[in-house]
Chain A
């Protein structure tokens, strides 16, 4: 009875079905525990958390410089910026926009630096459904390789005040 003190010799190993189940469950736990490091080395989708300290003002300056250097057009009044494949790209999160619009090439790899200049934000790429946390003071670097072409939406999925639902952005991917 679990509501009364057990017999004095309660410290006994399990046997029978209980022992079999513990063995099975622990084996499954080990499989799951190995899966993560395996994917870290051999899988193509990882969140390594590569990040650097950065002052919000300094980050905003890098974004401006990036936009000035690689701007190729506008969309709804927002600059569209096309960084050369293999180079660094910058994306600024703020209440309530993602700036600028990035134009990338399918199959090319970019180091996308994302940071916030005010509150915490959530980088959520749709409809691919990839999500990363963005913090002020941290330059979060995603080494990103688009594997599909088209027009993709960035929304914010970390609450950032009353206009949270207005915070959208774009990534354009050419073949």
Chain B
């Protein structure tokens, strides 16, 4: 990164509310880093990386089992590892990373101290203890119920208890963030409105409270039922309550990811939001409407009617989708404006070609944007269309979709952020910088390849969460044609590439954190050196003419979206008639 990008724009800042000796000024960005917040950012990041590794080992075991030619694990271990993979990745890893992000966007960006170190310790320990309980319970073989633990399938009581403890810990971490917002406002540590990234983090935190409360509503009675204190749990009720946790927590991920996009766009290219009001408005739309999408899990359920399904599936009027489409424009557009104003004005995409691709913080984030938009976003809306879901529910199309939202999107964005987190917060430099530059491409490319193969296999009807699609030993034979088998093989190859990217990431981070050169007292080593630009003869464009490249990209996106959407309606019109 070019340090001048940041320095030249630092506004004068009011004094913070830090105790003496409890803050340091970042040697690269000049941002005031609360040392307590820094400690907990490190702790949560370390836990996130550990569980990322466990989840990643699980991932490769699963992919090699679903590849029919390999069929690695026995049935019980397949379902056991599937339970572990889902919970470690979607709950433990990602929530720890998100708490780390909140502890950054609150204290550091608002020039405040963390609200309470004690509360942070309690939150951290509860999250850790809960996660360990869940992992041990699963690996002991007492809770092969998959991530969703749909009743009346019953897990060991410790399984639910571990999840509840993790959720309570996370909730306390989120309250610590809200406490920080409060004391920063009370002590006037910043002027005017909070920065956009903090605004996005706050939106994520608000949605997280909703998600975690739904988790309590679903899991506390289920825990009591597993102890024999409650007679039975209604399966339809459980599904709706559980997905209040399960889907809303994905919306936390989306929201946190978008905040990270804005953060990385700024620190890698010096981008400024085009319109603060639009970006913030889009985050507000997330808070208001995105939770309706948990209905996407009930589109072919009994117990809920068509009107309920259509209204919720459509997010009122797709207002949360509108929000994502707005971010999908404003993020690249802000980069385009920043790059053009530096003189990269050639043609439609000269600004994009000249972008700092040798910076893994940039390439990782931009790949995340593209993979999330074209892959996860489009498939999410289409699969979540009420009637089209008939062709998709519980097939491999569903994990095909969410591996390009939460993995190719959120996890990749978090990896990109880590290329700044380690030098700036851990104050350690990465080794093997050429490998760092390849890593986002390896991970993003592998996961996209895998997800596309999964989606095709799902279109052939291949179920998700299924040990043997050759149905060996079934009373009535069943199976899929060679096309589906080819896709499952390709899925395995994509998974191998993605897991290689994951292991490389973990290796690079561990090497840097434990053995990296300290950069305390001086700026981090730049990932990218800005080449000199020939002086432009014309003034940089502004306003309407400022973003023709981005406009072209989003129009291509819209075209792909429209074609895929109507193609699915066409396929639907071909299946049996049903009401």
B19 within 8 A of A: no
A145 within 8 A of B: yes
B333 within 8 A of A: yes
Interface string of B556-574 (1 = CB under 8 A from A): 0010011001000100110
Give the chain B neighbours of A136 by CB distance below 8 A: 152, 235
Q: From A76, A153, A157, give the contact of B475 (CB < 8 A).
A: A76
A44 to B570, CA, bound (A): 12
Asked if A129 and B547 make an inter-chain contact with CB atoms under 8 angstroms apart, the answer reads: no
B532 within 8 A of A: no
Minimal Cβ-Cβ distance residue in B for A125: B576
A33 to B9, CA, bound (A): 43
Interface string of B242-274 (1 = CB under 8 A from A): 000000000000000000001101110011111
Asked if A17 and B551 make an inter-chain contact with CB atoms under 8 angstroms apart, the answer reads: yes
Stretch with Cβ within 8 A of B (4 or more), from A64-72, A82-90, A160-168: A160-168
Stretch with Cβ within 8 A of A (4 or more), from B173-181, B320-328, B489-497: B320-328
Asked if B387 and A43 make an inter-chain contact with CB atoms under 8 angstroms apart, the answer reads: yes
A57 to B463, CA, bound (A): 29
Scan residues 99-139 of chain A and give those whose CB is less than 8 A from a CB of chain B. 101, 109, 118-120, 122, 124-139
* Whole-angstrom distance between the Cβ of A106 and the nearest chain B Cβ: 10
If the complex has contacts A1-B9, A25-B326, A166-B474, are A120 and B235 also in contact, measured as CB distance less than 8 A?
A: yes
Give the chain B neighbours of A164 by CB distance below 8 A: 79, 465-467
If the complex has contacts A47-B299, A129-B459, A132-B393, are A157 and B468 also in contact, measured as CB distance less than 8 A?
A: no
A139 to B573, CA, bound (A): 26
A47 to B161, CA, bound (A): 35
B473 within 8 A of A: yes
Asked if B303 and A97 make an inter-chain contact with CB atoms under 8 angstroms apart, the answer reads: no
Give the chain A neighbours of B473 by CB distance below 8 A: 166
Q: From B10, B192, B321, give the contact of A29 (CB < 8 A).
A: B321
Give the chain A neighbours of B146 by CB distance below 8 A: 159
Give the chain A neighbours of B474 by CB distance below 8 A: 165-168
Asked if A166 and B471 make an inter-chain contact with CB atoms under 8 angstroms apart, the answer reads: yes
A168 to B314, CA, bound (A): 34
* Whole-angstrom distance between the Cβ of A83 and the nearest chain B Cβ: 16
A25 to B329, CA, bound (A): 10
Asked if A18 and B330 make an inter-chain contact with CB atoms under 8 angstroms apart, the answer reads: yes
* Whole-angstrom distance between the Cβ of B476 and the nearest chain A Cβ: 4
Asked if B394 and A166 make an inter-chain contact with CB atoms under 8 angstroms apart, the answer reads: no
A37 to B195, CA, bound (A): 40
Asked if B543 and A8 make an inter-chain contact with CB atoms under 8 angstroms apart, the answer reads: no
Asked if A119 and B194 make an inter-chain contact with CB atoms under 8 angstroms apart, the answer reads: no
A78 within 8 A of B: yes
Asked if A122 and B394 make an inter-chain contact with CB atoms under 8 angstroms apart, the answer reads: yes
* Whole-angstrom distance between the Cβ of B77 and the nearest chain A Cβ: 11
A167 to B467, CA, bound (A): 12
Asked if A137 and B576 make an inter-chain contact with CB atoms under 8 angstroms apart, the answer reads: no
Asked if B464 and A17 make an inter-chain contact with CB atoms under 8 angstroms apart, the answer reads: no
Interface string of B430-468 (1 = CB under 8 A from A): 000000000000000000000000000001110111111
Q: From B272, B303, B318, B476, give the contact of A51 (CB < 8 A).
A: B303
Stretch with Cβ within 8 A of A (4 or more), from B87-95, B305-313, B343-351: B305-313
Asked if B578 and A49 make an inter-chain contact with CB atoms under 8 angstroms apart, the answer reads: no
Asked if B393 and A122 make an inter-chain contact with CB atoms under 8 angstroms apart, the answer reads: yes
Asked if A129 and B389 make an inter-chain contact with CB atoms under 8 angstroms apart, the answer reads: no
Give the chain A neighbours of B298 by CB distance below 8 A: 133
Interface string of A149-160 (1 = CB under 8 A from B): 000010111111
* Whole-angstrom distance between the Cβ of A145 and the nearest chain B Cβ: 4
Asked if A144 and B577 make an inter-chain contact with CB atoms under 8 angstroms apart, the answer reads: yes
A91 within 8 A of B: no
Asked if A124 and B463 make an inter-chain contact with CB atoms under 8 angstroms apart, the answer reads: yes
Minimal Cβ-Cβ distance residue in B for A52: B302
A20 to B274, CA, bound (A): 14
B276 within 8 A of A: yes
* A-B residue pairs in contact (CB < 8 Å), sample of 5: A12-B275, A17-B548, A47-B387, A131-B390, A135-B235
Q: Residues of A at under 8 Å CB distance from B?
A: 1-8, 10-18, 20-22, 24-26, 28-30, 32-33, 35-37, 39-40, 43-51, 75-78, 97, 101, 109, 118-120, 122, 124-140, 142-148, 153, 155-162, 164-170
Q: Residues of B at under 8 Å CB distance from A?
A: 9-11, 31, 75-76, 79, 109, 144, 146, 150-153, 190-197, 234-236, 239, 262-263, 265-267, 270-279, 298-306, 308-310, 313-314, 317-319, 321-322, 325-326, 329-330, 333, 381, 385-387, 389-395, 459-461, 463-469, 471-478, 480-481, 543-548, 550-551, 554, 558, 561-562, 565, 569, 572-573, 575-579
